[in-house]
Amino acid sequence: MKILVADKISPTGVEYLRNQDGLEVIEAYGSSPEEIQKLAVDVSAIIVRSETKITPEVFAVAKELKVVGRAGVGVDNIDIESATENGVIVMNTPTGNTIATAELTFTHMLCGARPIPQASASMKAGKWARKDFSGSELRNKTLAVIGLGRIGAEVAKRAKAFDMSVIAYDPFLTSSRAKALDIKVVELEDAFKHADYITVHMPLTDTTKYMIDENAFDLMKDGVRLFNCARGGIIKETALINAVKSGKVAAAGLDVYESEPLSEDHELRSLDNIVLTPHLGASTKEAQESVGIEIAEAVFDVISTGKVINAINAPSVDAKTLQELQPYLTLGEKLGTFIQQLSPNQIVSLKITYWGKITNLDSLPLTRAIQKGYLLNISGQNTNDINAPLKMKHLGIEVEVTKSSIDCDYTDLIQIEAVLNTGNSLTLSGTILGKGLPKVVNIKGRDIEVNPNGQLILLENIDTPGIIGSVGQILGEHGVNIGNMTLCRSEESGGTALSVYELDSQPCAESMDKIHALDNIKNVTMVRL
């Protein structure tokens, strides 16, 4: 077997591979796309960092390829869809750069407090301008950590050592986890309003894109300091530039950008009180050593034993079991994503119950698929079947699984109950019908059959005439076609009705506002699957 190491990783990792019997290691650093395609023809595995792109063209020719391993977290340089289509596992190393990124973030914070890079540049230019570089102390300042995952928690720990007051915004963090970290959790607006320093540690998703924009800056204190070593696009760069120019932001530090590499003429480069680094989050000797060894061992496990860890696009099951589970894995992920969008941000636990013949199958991959689905809109696309349970644990959400032997109305049934911190709960159930067709069959205790695909509007209203017609008219006026509609009514006259509209396209904000404004509407929820 052959392994292509396309980007330079830790020599210890390469040496580990060379010591394996029957394995040929090809080191091809700095190869062109054309050279990578030629080398990939007969390899079993490819290891990359961020430089080499593994494109559909590579997957098309690499007929023996089983796994692509990324020595790092981000997999933007690997075409995940093409890998999946070609049956290739994509793996990463999600924990190896935690300390490195946390320390870089804190380095940026210190440079924002004391203008060390600017003072150094002045000194090297032959100047002695002590009065030009007055700074500020971190002690007794308030730091807002936006996103309290692994890296955010490490930054918070270091801030406390500097006698900073730490607050955090993380809509999915439970109170028990916050208490364990000894951190006060606040709403996002309060984080903006009260912080002297703000650091970002969120994944880039539809929800977090431009989370910090013009409106956010308007809420902040004058002279706030802002730092992002997470993902470009969370901070709107044009808004940041204007905020720096106006004095709203006294200093900023960025390691990531909306478009990378940052263009030579980008205006961010011209602002003296912004410190820029070229995406160095994982660029420490220790982090590279860690991820290099980790990915070498993980990739070899895949091609030698079939063991899979930290897979982006595949569950950790053998081929035969995967074939049996596949329809349920699809259903489980859909149900997880569905109930996350139905639930408030903070829940205490997910209670998962299985009925029917699926109780005889290995439920662990299915349970992980449900957790992955629940986290997709929270933790981003790096969430996978392997790391989903750990991410749930970090959020303080318990997962309870029951296999029931009691008869139910279906051959197989999956029910998910989201338990809220108020003690209340809501449920969602689904099954497989016909030839592997997933269906939602109960929402919030109401029997209703829904296809869990695309754009859905869930409407709860007082059961009065005209609601369905009004909704259809509003959607039609805005060019949205209703593919299907199902309705569940209360038995009593004038009770509450639940209807689900399956749409061919996403409705605009204006049409949703109009639906919300209709008389007798109790609740409107948009679900995207």
- Residues annotated catalytic, as ranges: 231, 260, 279
Q: Are 224 and 249 in contact (CB under 8 A)?
A: yes
Give the span between the Cα atoms of 521 and 384, in whole angstroms: 37
Q: Which pair of structure tokens corresponds to residue 93? A: 């190393």
Q: Which pair of structure tokens corresponds to residue 86? A: 């070609």
Give the span between the Cα atoms of 254 and 228, in whole angstroms: 5
Q: How far is CA 215 from CA 193, 210, 240, 266, in A?
A: 12, 10, 11, 23
Q: Are 91 and 299 in contact (CB under 8 A)?
A: yes
Displacement of CA 202 from its chain's centroid (Å): 8
Residues 241, 242, 245, 247: is their CA dihedral positive or negative?
Answer: negative
Q: What are phi and psi of 470, to 5 degrees?
A: -65, -40
C-alpha closest to that of 236 among 206, 216, 222, 220: 216
98-113 vs 150-161: helix axis angle to the nearest 10? Answer: 40
Give the span between the Cα atoms of 6 and 36, in whole angstroms: 8
Give the span between the Cα atoms of 280 and 30, in whole angstroms: 19
Where is 512: in which H helix or E strand? Answer: helix 509-516
Q: What's the helix, strand, coil split of the chain in %, to 5? A: 35, 25, 40
Displacement of CA 305 from its chain's centroid (Å): 29
Give the span between the Cα atoms of 56 and 83, in whole angstroms: 8
Q: How far is CA 434 from CA 335, 416, 431, 439, in A?
A: 18, 22, 10, 10
Q: What are phi and psi of 206, to 5 degrees?
A: -60, -35
C-alpha closest to that of 147 among 94, 102, 214, 99: 102
Q: Could you give the dihedral angle defined by the CA atoms of residues 354, 356, 358 and 361, in that order, rounded to the nearest 10 degrees?
A: 100
